[in-house]
């Protein structure tokens, strides 16, 4: 099995391991250039924080303070629209793309040729698909009630095809691929008729995306007649990974300083947001369908977040505060899969039950913090022992 625990130096492990791609650690500014981005580890950790329990902390805090808007941002819209929680998945895929050029360059320097890199990309992508099906209960052998599509599966497929494109094109070709994927996906959903519903019907279950998934995917779909991580929606998700790969190539450019890179990412991010809202009028921002406007919207926000983290961590080199997120960011796939295997809630009760049972109205918030603390301490132990999960 290609997924294995590995003990290694943290810097090397960070550069080789990602949930969807490999990471890199920091920081080329103007003077000395490193081939890794510490800000990428930190941003990945920030992203994963919301998955491993940050959402629960924020929800509990919102109930205490009456901040309904905060709680609302941590729920997915039923169909069209966008909330902060919709960004978690695509930003992770975007970061997988950012890490690609760093990872590929390291492997080439190590002596790998293009054919070995291609094989590596294919195996990595398919392994993530397999892990996703296992996460969904493949080994429980409850067919046909098993759901094959998954978050890891979409990351794996998008990484696989984006990686092959990156290995075989330059940045101009990658821009053309992004444009072709996004425009082609829009045209398919607008103009190809779906039996029983016609063309251009974007209602739940009526779209070409849902029809293709019902036609091709065996087993159970998440929503019965549709699945937000289905096959057809992976086409524009490849564009998300490619947008990250273009960003990674830009950050690798040693001829530009950190201030310029920060400003450029922020400006392009704002342009993507503007284009997304223009396209939203005809092709609504929708995570369930992973619409082309959704790709641009999430690429815009991902660029703005990366610009902020990059500027603070890799340009200004203010790094101590980021350690909390880096510990999460260097082992994201492990903590994601561990949620299926470890009852962190039970562990938190075992250690903190006596201290928190009389905490009154603050109890839900303190319990949410306790669960995240248990998860983080596990990751810290693995970090100190230099144990990382590599896919």
pLDDT tens digits for range 91-121: 999 999 999 999 898 888 888 888 999 999 9
321 half-sphere exposure, CB direction, 13 A CA radius? 9
Give the per-residue pLDDT at 359: 72
Torsion of CA 153, 154, 160, 161, to 10 degrees: 150
Give the per-residue pLDDT at 389: 77
Residue 358, classed as helix, strand or coil, is coil
Listed as ranges, residues in the chain with pLDDT below 50 are 1-35
Give the per-residue pLDDT at 192: 96
Give the per-residue pLDDT at 13: 34
> Does a cis peptide bond (omega within 30 degrees of 0) precede residue 148?
no
- Domain extent at residue 339: 4-390
Q: What is the DSSP letter of 206?
A: T
Cα of first residue to Cα of last residue in the chain, in angstroms, is: 9
Count how many domains the chain has. Answer: 1
Give the per-residue pLDDT at 355: 72
Q: How far apart are CA 282 and CA 359, in angstroms?
A: 50
Q: How far apart are CA 48 and CA 353, in angstroms?
A: 26
For residue 227, give every residue at least 6 positions away whose Cβ sits within 8 Å of its Cβ, in sequence order, or none: 147, 149, 213, 217, 221
pTM comes to: 0.86
Cβ atoms < 10 Å from Cβ of 317: 12
Give the per-residue pLDDT at 362: 83
Give the per-residue pLDDT at 391: 67
Buried b (16+ CB within 10 A) or exposed e, 147-157: bbbbbbbbbbb
Are the beta carbons of 102 and 28 closer than 8 angstroms?
no
Give the per-residue pLDDT at 26: 35
Helix pair angle (234-252, 151-168), 10° resolution: 50
Q: What angle do CA 205, 210, 212 make, to 5 degrees?
A: 145
Give the per-residue pLDDT at 388: 78
């Amino acid at each position: 099995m290609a997924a294995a625990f590995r003990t290694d130096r943290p810097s090397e492990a960070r550069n080789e391991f990602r949930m969807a791609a490999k990471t890199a650690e920091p920081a080329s500014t103007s003077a000395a250039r490193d081939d890794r981005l510490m800000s990428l580890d930190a941003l990945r950790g920030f992203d994963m924080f919301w998955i491993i329990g940050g959402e629960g902390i924020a929800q509990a805090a919102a109930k205490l303070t009456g901040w309904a808007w905060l709680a609302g941002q941590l729920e997915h819209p039923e169909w069209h629209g966008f909330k902060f929680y919709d960004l978690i998945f695509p930003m992770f895929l975007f970061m997988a793309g950012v890490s690609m050029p760093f990872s590929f360059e390291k492997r080439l320097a190590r002596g790998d040729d293009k054919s070995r890199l291609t094989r590596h990309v294919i195996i990595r992508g398919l392994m993530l698909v397999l892990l996703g099906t296992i996460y969904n209960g493949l080994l429980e052998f409850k067919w046909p009630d098993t759901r094959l599509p998954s978050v890891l599966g979409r990351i794996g497929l998008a990484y696989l095809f984006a990686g092959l494109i990156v290995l075989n094109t330059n940045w101009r070709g990658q821009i053309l691929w992004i444009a072709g994927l996004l425009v082609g996906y829009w045209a398919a959903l607008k103009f190809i008729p779906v039996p029983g519903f016609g063309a251009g019907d974007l209602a739940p279950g009526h779209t070409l995306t849902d029809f293709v998934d019902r036609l091709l995917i065996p087993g159970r779909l998440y929503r019965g007649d549709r699945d937000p991580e289905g096959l057809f929606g992976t086409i524009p998700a490849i564009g998300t990974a490619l947008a990250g790969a273009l960003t990674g190539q830009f950050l690798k450019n040693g001829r530009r300083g950190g201030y310029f890179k920060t400003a450029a990412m922020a400006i392009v991010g704002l342009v993507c947001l503007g284009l997304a809202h223009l396209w939203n009028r005809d092709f609504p921002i929708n995570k369930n369908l992973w619409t082309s406007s959704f790709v641009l919207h999430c690429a815009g926000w991902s660029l703005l977040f990366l610009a902020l983290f990059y500027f603070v961590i890799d340009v200004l080199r203010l790094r101590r505060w980021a350690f909390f997120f880096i510990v999460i960011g260097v082992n994201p796939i492990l903590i994601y899969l561990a949620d299926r295997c470890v009852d962190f809630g039970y562990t938190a009760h075992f250690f903190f039950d006596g201290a928190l049972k009389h905490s009154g109205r603050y109890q839900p918030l303190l319990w949410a913090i306790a669960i995240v603390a248990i998860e983080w301490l596990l990751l810290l132990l693995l970090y100190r022992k230099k144990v990382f999960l590599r896919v």
